[in-house]
Structure 1
Amino acid sequence: MSDGLNDARAMRVAEIMSDFRNLQYYLSQLRATPTAEEYYLEGYSLLRQCSDEAQAILDAPFSATTTSPGGDSEREKTQLRGVIVDAAVRRFQCQRAYLRAHAGLRWMNTRNSILRGQKPNASHLGHLHAADTTLRMELLAITDEHVDNTLRSQDSAQGKWLGEDPSLAQIQQVLMSR
């Protein structure tokens, strides 16, 4: 017997997919133009990695069942739950890439403000090293728990129904199985 929540589940799928689309759009707009000497610096490598991760998430096959529920509310419920899990995992991955990319952009902007169009020289080394250290510290703070908390906090603040969102442990389990 259906529990009457399939409309809420369908709405949740739409909300998660909207968030996912927005994150994907942001990640697709990442543009950095390092010089040949800067290309392999940590921050620029990070930005390329985040962009590649976003594309890989898009390229990953859909993992929930795709059979037609055919009017059966229990099958629809099962299918919607699977879609919620798949969408939530993808959104989680994109949020993690977004947070990492944002740290990379802050690093790039800090680097540019230190250099002000000049080539790096000895007078810049201390500040550039501090920017690199800050980037590493920010990346260490982007744990799975932090990513999950940012998403749940945003959703809760917007009054979204989270009744069947997968837990962090479930998301991690799905990611490890891929």
Structure 2
Amino acid sequence: MSDGLNDARAMRIAEIMNDFRNLQHYLSQLRASPTAEEYYLEGYSLLRQCSSEAQSILTTPFAATSGATGGDPEREKQQLRAIIVDAAVRRFQCQRAYLRAHAGLRWMNSRNSILRGQKPNASHFASLQAADSTLRMELLAITDSHVDNTLRAQDASQGKWLAEDPSLTQIQQVLMSR
């Protein structure tokens, strides 16, 4: 027998997909125009990687079994649960890319602030190294646990229904199986 929560599940899917859409929009707006000499620097490579990850997430097919539910509430429940997991995994991936891209943008802005339109020279070396080091430290802090905590804290603060959201372990298992 159905538990009467299919409407809540459908609403949760809409919430997760809205977050996913917002993250995708942000990631699609990433713009950096490094010079040929800067193209392979860590921060610019990171921004390209995050943009590429966002596109890859969009092209990953939905793997759950689908089909007409025929009005069977129990079958709808299972299908909605599968969609919640898929949507949550995609949102998690986008959140991780977003946090990494944001670190890359801070690095880029820091670099631009240090150089002030000049070509890098010996007087910039220490400051540029510090910016690179800061980027690396920020990236190390963006663990799966951190990404999961940011999403759960945001959802909880907005009073969203989280009863059937997948755990971090479940998300990691799905990602490893892809």
AA in 1 matched with 2:7: D
Residue number in structure 2 paired with 1:57:
57
The corresponding residue for 1:97 is: 97
Report 1:141-156 matches (<5 A): 141-156=141-156
Q: Relative to structure 2, which stretch is displaced further, 65-74 or 122-131?
A: 65-74
Q: Percent identity?
A: 84
Equivalent runs, 1:17-166 vs 2, <5 Å: 17-166=17-166
Question: 2:119 is aligned with what amino acid?
Answer: K
Q: Offset at 1:143?
A: 0.1
- Residues 75-121 of structure 1, C-alpha deviations (whole Å, 9 max, x = no match): 00000000000000000000000000000000000000000000000
**1:63 to partner: Cα distance:** 1.7
Paired with 2:24 and 2:64, the residues of 1 have a C-alpha distance of 20
* SS in structure 2 of the partner of residue 137 of structure 1: helix
Instruction: Write the mapping of 1:3-14 to structure 2, written as runs, cut at 5 A.
Output: 3-14=3-14
Report the TM-score, using the length of structure 1 for normalisation.
0.99
Gaps of 5+ in 1: none
Q: Which amino acid aligns with 1:21?
A: R
Counterpart CA distance in 2 for 1:108 and 1:8 is 42
SS at match of 2:4: coil
**Alpha-carbon deviation of 1:66?**
1.6
After superposition, the C-alpha distances for 1:6-37 in whole angstroms (9 at most, x for unaligned) are 00000000000000000000000000000000
C-alpha displacement at 1:64, in angstroms? 2.0
* Runs of 4+ residues over 6 Å off in structure 1: none
Aligned equivalents of 1:169, 1:158: Cα separation in 2: 23
